Structure 1
Amino acid sequence: MGFNSLHRQVGLITLSRNAAALCMILALLTFCMGVSAAADIGKRSPLLKSRMEQLRANDRLDIQGVVITGKFVPEFYRQRAYELAWESKAGNALDLLVQIRASEQEGLVPADYYAAEIEQMLAAASKTDLSDSQRVDLDIMLTAAVVRYAYHLRFGKVNPDTMVAGRNMQRSFNSQDPLVEIQELIDSTAFNAELDARISQLPLYHRLRDALVDYRALRESGGWPTVPAGPTLKPDMQDERVVAVRQRLVVTGDLAADTPAVEPLLYDRALQDGVEHFQLRHGLDVDGLIGKGTLAAMNVTVDARIDQIRVNMDRARWVSQELPKTFVMVDIAGFRASLLIDGEVAWDEPVVVGKPYRETPVFREEMTYLEMNPTWTVPPTILAKDILPKLKKDPAYLEQQKMQVLTMEGKVVDSATIDWASTSARGFPYMIRQTPGPHNALGRIKFIFPNPHMVYLHDTPSKALFDRSSRAFSSGCIRVKNPYRLAELLLQDDDNWNREKIDLAIDSLKQQRINLPESVPVLLLYWTVDVGQDGEVYFRDDIYQRDKKVLVGLDGKYHFDAPTDSPDWLKN
């Protein structure tokens, strides 16, 4: 029930009309810049040098009603010996203007790139020759704009390291000199293609961009109606709110517009199908009941959904440099994990992730081995908050859970000799470890990608939780449905292992470590919007309340955070 492409075509037509109007400016601009500045091309501009010295000294430069900041622009011009960069690049200047005006299609804000000010100056240039001061200001603004826009396309506007604690994914120039890169972009005879190459190649990003066009078109057409509050609506009920529900679902394609209604106020079978489709797309229990959760999701505004899509587009830019062809990805907010082999999904299953107060972190590490019939050593946080309180109430808890007390050297201690009532987690001198077997909290297999968070993927004896729509129940680790198939795929290049041998090893109850033939990257990511290959848009609850902070940064002022491999002049 995805939207058709008409909205996108309309958007492109509108953009092309704007571009056509700007072409008239280009014709005059080329003449104005070319004639008035011909004698100065290739020569130093004392006025430009003065502007850059002012910017370097004050860390800001006020020109034409905008403020230029940062170290990149003055260093760029210093290395050019203060020659203007755009004088013979009028075509690229126009292309840049068209791109930054259309930056909303990337979920970005045109004002960040001086779109209105640059357009005003180009329009002025179409009517009269620019003064030397105006030419210099226009050149500076164009350079600052292309630096900002290229930076945002490549890395995202929001710095993820300020959003997510413990994140270890690097923002890198990949050993490229950023000054040379910008100069080559400005000089390129294929400017649009070069700039577009900085857009995330993640397939999800491009599907999110299409969804953004669709939802903005919905906003332009009036959005969707609010469904009034009231008792839970159930199939076969008669209720005046059914009319609003039907209208609401038609707008987003969950219910076909030509679906016949048996009776206007009857919650009939066709409407139930639409409700269940909506519930599926929004991570709700698919039960056809319009209770508080479903009603709340229906009444989220189109503006809020647009912002949610934009937030996830920036998240996609954060990881655009991180994705190899073969990797495991955990979608924390979507409660799913996938194994991609050579870019194709080979395994995709539900997972259980950390509770809101024990969040599963976002990071990347290399999976190097898996362990069959693992023991489980209770982590300090779980020991303090869960295990010790239970032991104080019932010292037999350890025996019931097949747990042992061990010294830090691994020697078994008789738990009956410990005064649990007076034991504190602070300075606790022992480890508590659960023996292997079907009772083990980690199930029969775990997948290890060493990390400081002590987080890993593992089997679980608690299979029923996979049937829940919202699955934030763990203490941070990721519980996996159908882990045996994942193990089989990870070991498929090892002649010593196949599914039968994996099953036999597990049945033996013998604890066994198996190194992978090659390490496999594991990315733990957080998406609150997903888009299927068919264009179906799936919204998820922001279980860790992270979207708002990203949105504030996305709509806030421009700020440059130097990537990890930046040259010293850019960092300091």
Structure 2
Amino acid sequence: MKKWSFLLLLIPLMLTMCGRKKVVKIARDVSITPKNAVTRLAVDSLQMEDYISQAKLGDSAAQYLRNFYNSRNFQFAWITEKGLTEQARMFYMLNKDYASHFRDSTVLDPQLYQKMDFLMKQDTVFRKPDTSLAHLDLQLTQHFFNYVSTAYEGKVDPEVLQWHIPRKKLNTAALLDSLMSGKKTAAEDWEPVNREYKWMKKRLTSYYQLQQEGKFEDISSGKLKVYRIGDSALTVRQVRLRLIQFGDSTLKDSSSVFDSTLRASVKRAQGQYGMGQNGNINKALIKALNVPLEQRIKQILINMERMRWMPQMPDGRYLLANIPEYRLHVFEDHKTVLNMGIVVGKAANKTVIFSNKMRNIVFSPYWNIPASIVRAEVLPAMKRNRNYLASKNMEQTGFSNGLPEVRQKPGDNNSLGRVKFLFPNSYDIYFHDTPAKSLFAQEKRAFSHGCIRLSQPAALAEYLLDGKSGWTKEKIAKAMSGKKEVWVALSSPVPVFITYFTCWVDEDGLLNFRDDVYGHDRKMAEQLFDKS
């Protein structure tokens, strides 16, 4: 499996434009004078208040606008005596590019852009700022604030879609100051996005190009169920051409013969779709390669929206579980040091998307069986078989709300396996071992009641306890095979992110797709895309 990371947006978390916190008033910077100002054109305070009133700005938005112009002693931001600044032109192109790539016309103000189109095409000289010119500069500033909120923080409210990872926030005023400084002349260098987001944007562009070419035809399944090296068929040729369309530079011709070069490409493609990488062309691969371009484009757009929500990843160690990928990734200083297969909650018991900090490892754990499982599974079994608890190495410890309180004792058949990893949360979700090792051989692994089962729990324990006095590999193995529960506190808490991405670009630059196991993509599509 390919390594995968999300090092998202390197901007500090500060005040937002939505008014969740009171905006602190910034005093006027009188050190800026006509002699050192970028332009002699300036906004009059009465013009500003008139614009705020006409635009019907809320208190927070109005104060952000006042603060920005106070910080520059009311000099224009986007217009000088010679017309639109380079920053204004760059912002204009950013808007158009975003609207085109993300099919979001809400970031375009027709009247504003009509004025800008005119100014960009004319050699204009302004000697003094009239009200209409001042309003244009103010309008551009307010439009910038709105644009940043949509383009870089996200358009959809993640909480509505059961995404409980704290949403990224940007300091829009600092971003605007950064743009105005002119130190970064290319939009690509200025945008507050990480390289993975940029990679996704490039793949999105390539998919749009394929769509415009109109040469995306279905691959036929042919006569065979599986195609291997040495087979010759139209299907083989079609798969080869499709992989070339998707950017595989190792394939050079349109041969119908299945050779070793194609096999290597097929294995790589299978990895991109989360399939077993046997290198053979089968129905599952053909189905994935035949997914319509429009559907894949929407899948890319949906996951880029999720990327906008993600906070900055911490330095040091952190863990990221991606539900649709069925994998846990362990990072240290933003580099993958360990990854493993996982089992996640089934559709009826979805694993929750959230973040917290891991604080404890519990070896040879008891499993305190949730009341819902006791009611649905354990209690009926107890009624059928009076020896059920003993046969499952369980014991009753009391009663609560009319139900027996039941726990499973440490042992090889304990449902939590030999170790669990705790990061306190209200969802009662944690990582743990499992005796059902055979499930990890399956490609799709949504089988649990919501917690996340690990394929390599001992390796994770060894990594997390590396450097902790006395916790050698041998001691960990002994603790995992004991009959007594042992709690160990981590030297420092480790951030944990449980995410839901069905599309991303991995560290090898390959675009990955996964199935929408919980239907979250479908719900997001209803929020993101025009229903007409």
TM range (shorter): 0.7 to 0.9
SS in 2 for 1:122: helix
Question: For residue 402 of structure 1, what is the aligned residue in structure 2?
Answer: 393
Q: Could you report, residue by residue, the CA deviation over 1:63-92 in whole angstroms, capped at 9, with x for unpaired residues?
A: xxxxxxx66543344554887653337222
Secondary structure of 1:520's aligned partner: strand
Match of residue 542 from structure 1: 516
Equivalent in 199, 202, 207 of residue 199 of structure 2? 207
Q: Which residue of 2 aligns with 1:352?
A: 343
Counterpart of 2:367? 376
- Using a 3 Å threshold, how does the CA distance of structure 1 residues 142 and 54 change in structure 2: closer, same or farther? closer
Distance 1:154 1:268, change over 3 A: closer
Shift in CA distance, 184/281, structure 1 to aligned 2, threshold 3 Å:
closer
- Relative to the length of structure 2, the TM-score reads 0.80
Q: Which residue is equivalent to 1:112? A: 106
* Counterparts of 1:117 and 1:110, CA distance in 2: 17
| CA distance in 1 between partners of 2:321 and 2:224 (Å) | 34
Does the CA contact (< 8 Å) of 2:99 and 2:105 recur in 1?
A: no
The answer to whether the 8 A contact 1:406-1:432 is kept is yes
CA distance in 1, matches of 2:471, 2:268: 41
Q: Percent identity of the aligned residues?
A: 28
In 1, the alpha carbon distance for the partners of 2:177 and 2:243 equals: 49
Q: Secondary structure at the match of 2:474?
A: helix
Question: Aligned pair 1:448/2:422, yes or no?
Answer: yes
Q: Specify the alignment match of 2:328 in structure 1.
A: 337
Inter-partner Cα distance in structure 2 for 1:285 and 1:293: 10
The answer to whether the 8 A contact 2:362-2:487 is kept is: yes
Equivalent position amino acid for 1:54 in 2: Q
- AA in 2 matched with 1:103: Y
Equivalent residue, structure 2, for 1:157: 155
Check if 1:465 corresponds to 2:434.
no
Distance of 1:152 and 1:556 partners within structure 2: 16
Q: 1:41 is aligned with what amino acid?
A: A
Structure 2 CA distance for partners of 1:40 and 1:272, relative to 1, 3 Å: closer
Bigger Cα displacement from structure 2, 440-449 vs 146-155:
146-155
SS of match in other structure, 2:79: coil
* Unmatched runs of 5 consecutive residues or more in structure 1: 3-37, 60-69, 410-426, 558-572
Alignment of 1:174-193 (within 5 A): 180-181=173-174, 184-185=177-178, 187-190=180-183
Sort the Cα spacing of 1:286 and 1:343 in 2 relative to 1 into closer, same or farther, 3 A: closer
1:227 matched to 2:219? yes
| Structure 2 counterpart of 1:461, one-letter code | P
Report the residue type matching 1:94 in the other structure.
Answer: R
> Residue type of the partner of 1:219?
Q
**Offset at 1:163?**
1.6
Give 2:42's aligned residue. Answer: 41
Structure 1 pair 496–392 and aligned structure 2 pair: CA distance change class (3 A) = same
**Which secondary structure does the structure 2 equivalent of 1:333 belong to?**
helix
Q: 1:231, 1:291 within 8 Å by CA — same for their partners in 2? A: no
Matches within 5 A, 1:302-341: 302-341=293-332
Range 384-393 or range 92-101, more displaced: 384-393
| Worse-matched range after superposition: 443-452 or 278-287 | 278-287
State the shift of 1:485 in Å: 1.2
The match for 2:146 is 148
- Is the partner of 2:182 in helix, strand or coil? coil
Letter in 1 for 2:245: V
Matched residue, 2:96: 101
Question: Post-superposition shift, 1:380?
Answer: 2.2
The SS at the match of 1:102 is helix
Deviation at 1:432, TM superposition (A): 1.3
Structure 2 SS opposite 1:464: helix
Say whether residues 1:218 and 2:218 are aligned partners.
no
1:366 aligned onto 2:357: yes
AA aligned to 1:226 is: D
- One-letter amino acid matched to 2:515: D
Alpha-carbon distance in structure 2 between the residues aligned to 1:430 and 1:521? 35
CA distance in 2, matches of 1:71, 1:134: 23
How many Å separate the matches in 2 of 1:195 and 1:118?
A: 23
For the residues of structure 1 that align with 2:309 and 2:270, how far apart are their CA atoms? 29
Indicate if the aligned counterparts of 1:349 and 1:480 stay in contact, CA closer than 8 A. yes
1: distance between equivalents of 2:60 and 2:305? 22
**Residues of 2 paired with 1:369 and 1:551: CA distance?**
38
Question: Counterpart of 1:357 in 2: which secondary structure?
Answer: helix
For the aligned residues, what is the CA RMSD?
3.5
Q: Do the aligned partners of 1:437 and 1:444 also contact (CA within 8 Å) in 2? A: yes
Structure 2 gap segments, 5+ residues each? 3-38
1:74 correspondence with 2:66? no
Classify 1:238/1:168 alpha carbon distance in 2 versus 1 (closer, same or farther; 3 Å).
closer
Equivalenced residue count is: 482
User: How far apart, CA to CA, are the structure 2 residues paired with 1:351 and 1:223?
Assistant: 38
1:15 aligns with none
How far apart in 2 are the matches of 1:270 and 1:43?
A: 68
Alpha-carbon distance in structure 2 between the residues aligned to 1:109 and 1:323: 32
State the match for 1:416 in structure 2: none
CA deviation profile, 1:166-194 (whole Å, cap 9, x unmatched) = x1424445xx6x5x536634642336579
C-alpha distance in structure 2 between counterparts of 1:288 and 1:389, whole Å: 47
Instruction: Report Cα offsets for 1:270-303 as digits up to 9, x if no partner.
Output: 6555444433221234456766543431221222
| Structure 2 counterpart SS, 1:162 | helix
Q: Which moved more, 1:128-137 or 1:146-155?
A: 128-137
Check the 8 A contact 1:226/1:248 in 2, yes or no.
Answer: no
Cα deviation digits, residues 433-487 of structure 1 (max 9, x gap): 1110111111101100011110000111111111111111111111011111111
TM-score by length of 1: 0.74
Q: Does 1:139 align with 2:137?
A: yes
Q: In the superposition, relative to structure 1, how do residues 39 and 85 fare at CA in structure 2: closer, same or farther (>3 Å)?
A: closer
Check the 8 A contact 2:413/2:435 in 1, yes or no. yes
